[in-house]
Amino acid sequence: MPRLALTDRFVAGLHVTSRVVFFDSKARGLALRATPAGVKTWVFVYQSLGKSKWLTLGAYPSVKLAEARDLSEAKRRAVDVEKRDPAKEEKAEKRAAKAKAALEANVFTFRDMAALYVPFAKGKKKTWHQDVGIIDRYLNPAWAKLPLREIKRSHVHEVLDRLVAKGMTTGVNRVQAVISRIFTVALDRSLVDAHPAVRMIKRFKEQPSDRVLTDDELRVLWRGLDAHPGPAADAIRLRMLLGQRGGEINNMLWSEVDFKATTWDMPGARTKNGRAHAVPLPPTALAILERRRDEVTSDVPGVFPVRVGWSPEYRALSEIAGGAYEWKDLRRTLSTRLAAMGFSEEVVGRVLNHARYSVTARHYIKHSYLAEVRRALEAWDRELMRILSEDEVGTSKVVSFRS
């Protein structure tokens, strides 16, 4: 590789028949690489950690000789004085630029945030599956492809106003709450600059419900479920018979059901108050579960399909109520009916697995009340069957005897 004092005339008139590198004798490390195709490239050659490195400075004639010498001197100073490695720094800059371009090309969308939020919700709340249903049904269809940082307060109002226009009432507040939680997590992780739903006024004022279904409503509901047989109808029947929360019944596992002992043993991880709960199974509930067992294969862990509570079939059954009551009113109906039948507040609370707040109840009373709860649920089973045996005007079709 020849070394000589390069000049503008020499570089301009250079023609080679093979690949040649000319080193400049005036600027240490500067070289001109020439090819038979006429390509001329300036390079800076230096030693780093015992290895020879070649750093491209630019192509001639875009970079003239004088500019190439200035660039070479700057790189030489970086190596000899500042103890830096120009080639290594250039690679790092290229990697950073590539990463930035990739980030800009793959914008973090609301769908990405939703996928990040779901595992977070699983570890924080027992009703996380309800959040997933809201995301899948209302939020992803509207925002899935939107960059998360571009979702503004106006976007939130658009979604909520659209639901109100379709007739949704207090359910809109649930949707708003999920939106708020998602963006709280996003803000905490610096994925957004501002929270689009903070201090947003709720569309509907919620009042504690005191709705209890009448005998006629119980009959209409049961017969409506008979007209739409399937897992969703069975899940609602069990809510009527057992008085447990919808999410607890919808997520019931076969491993929790003891057919021999006629008991459903719910672990604390799946209850609202974190306490394990044994639910005796009265005859009608047991018959429903036995039929469900015959209808599904043994390798299926759940009594009902995954997220049955958010299935179209489950939602369609709400038309039976005609807006007069909600499914959660079934739990209040059972508890009210048990009280009217003479069962004590303590027994009714045990049926519903209400948390005990007194020191005595929490720490000293260890009696499980399983026998009392069984008597209560069996009594309600008989009472409900008596109600269902009557026609619409309340005339009984059978003669019932009370023990």
Domain ranges of the chain: 3-105, 110-188, 215-389
Task: Give φ, ψ of 334 to 5 degrees.
Answer: -60, -45
For residue 393, name the pLDDT band (cuts at 50, 70, 90): very low
Residue-wise pLDDT tens digits, 193-202: 999 999 999 8
SS3 379: helix
Task: Give φ, ψ of 245 to 5 degrees.
Answer: -70, 150
Amino acid 401: pLDDT: 36
More confidently predicted of 107 and 33: 33
Amino acid 48: pLDDT: 82
Residue-wise pLDDT tens digits, 160-183: 999 999 888 888 999 999 999 999
Distance CA 180, CA 190 (A): 15
What CATH number should be reported for the domain whose range is 3-105?
A: 3.30.160.390
What CATH number should be reported for the domain whose range is 110-188?
A: 1.10.150.130
Amino acid 358: pLDDT: 52
Maximum alpha-carbon separation in the chain: 120
SS3 54: strand
Joined tokens for residue 336 = 């009210």
Q: 370-389 vs 215-227: helix axis angle to the nearest 10? A: 80
Residue-wise pLDDT tens digits, 93-117: 888 777 666 666 678 999 999 999 9
**Contact (Cβ atoms closer than 8 angstroms) between residue 68 and residue 78:** no
**Contact (Cβ atoms closer than 8 angstroms) between residue 43 and residue 57:** yes
Question: Is residue 382 predicted with pLDDT exceeding 90?
Answer: yes
The DSSP symbol for 309 reads G
Task: Give φ, ψ of 338 to 5 degrees.
Answer: -65, -40
Question: Is residue 147 predicted with pLDDT exceeding 80?
Answer: yes
Q: Which of 4-18, 83-97, 98-112, 377-391 has the lowest mean pLDDT?
A: 98-112
Task: Give φ, ψ of 125 to 5 degrees.
Answer: -140, 145
Distance CA 27, CA 44 (A): 10
What CATH number should be reported for the domain whose range is 215-389?
A: 1.10.443.10
Peptide linkage before 283 cis (omega within 30 of 0): no
Residue-wise pLDDT tens digits, 197-242: 999 998 887 666 678 989 989 999 999 999 889 999 999 999 999 9
For residue 39, name the pLDDT band (cuts at 50, 70, 90): very high
**Contact (Cβ atoms closer than 8 angstroms) between residue 382 and residue 398:** no
Residue-wise pLDDT tens digits, 304-340: 887 777 778 888 888 888 777 888 899 999 999 999 9
**Contact (Cβ atoms closer than 8 angstroms) between residue 116 and residue 131:** no
Distance CA 154, CA 180 (A): 14
Residue-wise pLDDT tens digits, 351-380: 988 866 454 455 445 556 889 999 999 999
The DSSP symbol for 168 reads -
Residue 55 to residues 48, 78, 95, 124, Cα–Cα distance (Å): 12, 13, 16, 53
Residue of 326, 26, 286, 401 whose CA lies nearest to 170 = 326
Amino acid 357: pLDDT: 46
Q: Which residue has the tokens 């998602």?
A: 182
